[in-house]
């Protein structure tokens, strides 16, 4: 409401006269109360409608809230053990993930990472990549605040000859500068990016470090050697919830409202945002759970429960092989606003690559549909000629359950991959049997052993730069068989 119409409204409804200072003060208090009232959920929403909206908003918002939980750890909280560095500063991690890395679920332990949080409000960021040997995989995954992979420069898309890639936020109006390989647009003002650089074996780490040292991330003004524009205002990011509390706490929606400030409404979501406003959800709005009626509070909590119920149904579909990571990871155009898929990807493997870049084939159960448990022994056998078809490499990684983190074990081995083929003991017929169990299968088989925890676990088979037969389903994943 404009200021004049608000004054007219107040004069008419509250019969205010503005001649005295007392009445002017009263008017100011009423205006403040009116503004606060505008932030609260509208009273006409029914509990049933609030429950449905809360479910939809939770599915929509979970990737944003969990994404910023990780970003807060990596780029804001300097006292956290997993802190990388401030926004717009590229930080190389010249090692692979271990069980001590606990900020994100289902991390990959094949490719040393270089991380950067992106604040694109003031100007674009330019990434410069050196020439890299053609046999070595590299990629730069660009992830917006929604967790869409809005682009992935790398071996598959751009080759290994190097280049400079400009990443621009939603408000940048410039043209492609000289020296830029290509311009990449991001629809949110806050984003993140991560380089993956393939490590062939432990002795190869020094070569990876040399490549990482040549990755450059800099503001466009620095790339062009121009004066920098005015800096964007500092952001006072709120303390995130823990992974457990964000599953139930209504403070989830307060965080969502804060993060939505950096996400200009997409044209396809205008009506969606109007529905969310009915329960106080929207960019910069105040969501105060304490001011909800008991009925609305109960309804919104039930909506969160409904969202997790839908997620469990999605996970069951993964278990049955009815869908893959390729369905749930990718661009906005690929996902077509399927918010359940986007949430599922964030819960199971946040920051996963799009299917053209990598596919993630989970083992949540064995070949008989039983949950995986380290008190049993399992075999995974690739028949001769049936190893995962990739242009780059494949990797089988062990995680505990339900945390989905890497597992401590006596030989510090968290995965088996195709770069280890020369170390594996092949079957007599040319096939390959891998042993998945807690205890050693014996010295003669330890080369093929992937240690499991004592309790529940899960596996992910990653195929980097998969071949067409892996993408179209012609090639079938080998079954994980429990040994009787």
pLDDT range class, residue 202, cuts 50, 70, 90: confident
Q: State the SS3 of 226-289.
A: CCCCCCCCCCCCCCCCCCCHHHCCCHHHHHHHHHHHHCCCCHHHHHHHHHHHCCCCCCCCCCCH
Segments of 267-357 assigned E as strands = none
> Averaged over 41-63, what is the pLDDT?
91
Whether pLDDT at 95 is above 50? yes
Average pLDDT of the residues of the chain? 91
Whether pLDDT at 9 is above 50? no
Label residue 17 exposed, middle or buried (CB < 10 Å: 0-12, 13-18, 19+).
Answer: exposed
Whether pLDDT at 41 is above 60? no
Whether pLDDT at 31 is above 90? no
- Give the CA count within 13 Å in the CB-facing half-sphere of 213: 6
- Residues 445, 425 contacting (CB under 8 angstroms): yes
- Residues 41, 50 contacting (CB under 8 angstroms): yes
Whether pLDDT at 245 is above 80? yes
> Averaged over 169-194, what is the pLDDT?
97
What pLDDT, on a 0 to 100 scale, did the predictor assign at position 14?
36
Starting at the edge strand found earlier in the chain, the sheet holding 190-197 runs 91-92, 113-119, 190-197, 138-144, 149-151
Distance between CA atoms of 407 and 457, rounded to whole angstroms? 9
pTM for this entry: 0.85
> Averaged over 184-200, what is the pLDDT?
97
Give the sign of the dihedral formed by CA 94, CA 349, CA 54, CA 327: positive
What pLDDT, on a 0 to 100 scale, did the predictor assign at position 435?
98
What pLDDT, on a 0 to 100 scale, did the predictor assign at position 327?
95
Distance between CA atoms of 122 and 75, rounded to whole angstroms? 18
Query: Coil, helix or strand for 341?
Result: helix
Q: For 372-393, what is each residue's pLDDT tens digit?
A: 999 999 999 999 999 999 999 9
Distance between CA atoms of 261 and 254, rounded to whole angstroms? 12
Residue 79: how many other CB atoms lie within 10 Å: 5
Distance between CA atoms of 217 and 90, rounded to whole angstroms? 6
Taking alpha carbons only, the member of 361, 406, 401, 378 closest to residue 480 is: 378
Whether pLDDT at 461 is above 80? yes
Label residue 121 exposed, middle or buried (CB < 10 Å: 0-12, 13-18, 19+).
Answer: middle
Whether pLDDT at 184 is above 70? yes
Partnered with residue 436 across adjacent β-strands are: 378, 450
In order of 100, 104, 251, the CA distances from 297 in angstroms are 38, 30, 12
Q: For 266-290, what is each residue's pLDDT tens digit?
A: 999 999 999 999 999 999 999 999 9
User: How many residues does this entry show for the chain?
Assistant: 484
Q: For 396-432, what is each residue's pLDDT tens digit?
A: 999 999 999 999 999 999 999 999 999 999 999 999 9
Distance between CA atoms of 341 and 355, rounded to whole angstroms? 14
What pLDDT, on a 0 to 100 scale, did the predictor assign at position 2?
38
Taking alpha carbons only, the member of 396, 389, 408 closest to residue 461 is: 396
Q: How far is CA 468 from the centre of its chain?
A: 25
> Averaged over 444-457, what is the pLDDT?
97
Query: Coil, helix or strand for 423?
Result: helix
Q: For 345-366, what is each residue's pLDDT tens digit?
A: 999 889 999 999 999 999 999 9
What pLDDT, on a 0 to 100 scale, did the predictor assign at position 86?
98
Whether pLDDT at 22 is above 50? no
* Helices within 40-116 (DSSP H only): 47-71
Label residue 339 exposed, middle or buried (CB < 10 Å: 0-12, 13-18, 19+).
Answer: buried
Taking alpha carbons only, the member of 70, 118, 113, 119 closest to residue 92 is: 113
Give the sign of the dihedral formed by CA 411, CA 416, CA 421, CA 427: positive
Q: For 430-441, what is each residue's pLDDT tens digit?
A: 999 999 999 999
Q: For 97-149, what is each residue's pLDDT tens digit?
A: 899 988 888 888 889 999 999 999 999 999 999 999 999 999 999 999 999 99
């Amino acid at each position: 409401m404009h200021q004049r119409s608000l004054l007219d409204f107040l004069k008419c409804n509250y019969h205010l006269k503005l001649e005295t200072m007392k009445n002017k003060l009263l008017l100011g208090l009423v205006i403040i109360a009116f503004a606060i009232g505008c932030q609260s959920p509208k009273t006409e929403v029914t509990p049933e409608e609030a429950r449905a909206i809360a479910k939809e908003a939770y599915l929509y918002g979970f990737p944003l809230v969990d994404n910023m939980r990780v970003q807060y750890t990596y780029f804001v909280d300097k006292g956290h053990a997993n802190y990388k560095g401030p926004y717009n500063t590229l930080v190389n991690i010249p090692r692979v993930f271990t069980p001590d890395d606990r900020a994100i679920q289902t991390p990959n332990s094949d490719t040393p990472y270089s991380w950067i949080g992106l604040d694109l409000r003031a100007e674009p960021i330019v990434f410069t990549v050196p020439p890299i040997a053609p046999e070595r995989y590299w990629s730069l995954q660009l992830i917006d605040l929604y967790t869409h992979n809005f682009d992935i420069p790398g071996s598959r898309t751009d080759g290994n000859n190097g280049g400079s890639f400009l990443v621009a936020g939603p408000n940048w109006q410039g043209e492609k500068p000289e020296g830029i390989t290509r311009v990449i647009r991001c629809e949110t003002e806050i984003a993140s990016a991560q380089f993956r650089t393939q490590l062939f074996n432990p002795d190869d780490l020094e070569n990876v470090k040399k490549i990482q040292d040549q990755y450059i991330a800099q503001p466009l003004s620095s790339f062009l050697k121009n004066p920098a524009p005015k800096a964007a205002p500092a952001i006072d990011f709120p303390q995130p919830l823990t992974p457990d509390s964000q599953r139930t706490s209504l403070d989830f929606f307060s965080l969502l409202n804060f993060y939505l400030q950096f996400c200009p409404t997409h044209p396809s979501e205008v009506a969606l945002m109007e529905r969310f406003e009915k329960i106080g959800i929207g960019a910069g709005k105040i969501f105060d759970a304490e001011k909800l009626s008991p009925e609305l509070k109960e309804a919104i909590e039930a909506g969160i429960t409904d969202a997790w119920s839908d997620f469990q149904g999605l996970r069951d579909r993964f278990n049955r092989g009815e869908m893959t990571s390729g369905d749930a990871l990718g661009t906005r155009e690929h996902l077509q606003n399927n918010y359940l898929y986007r949430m599922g990807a964030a819960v199971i493997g946040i920051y996963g690559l799009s299917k053209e870049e990598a596919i993630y084939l989970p083992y949540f159960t064995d070949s008989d549909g039983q949950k995986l448990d380290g008190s049993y022994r399992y075999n995974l056998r690739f028949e001769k000629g049936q190893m995962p078809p990739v242009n780059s490499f494949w990797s089988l990684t062990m995680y505990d359950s339900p945390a989905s983190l890497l597992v401590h074990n006596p030989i510090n081995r968290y995965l088996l991959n195709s770069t280890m083929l020369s170390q594996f003991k092949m079957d007599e017929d040319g096939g390959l049997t891998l042993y998945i169990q807690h205890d050693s299968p014996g010295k003669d088989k330890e080369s093929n052993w992937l240690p499991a925890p004592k309790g529940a676990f899960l596996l992910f088979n990653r195929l980097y730069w998969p071949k067409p037969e892996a993408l179209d389903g012609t090639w079938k994943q080998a079954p994980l068989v429990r040994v009787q």
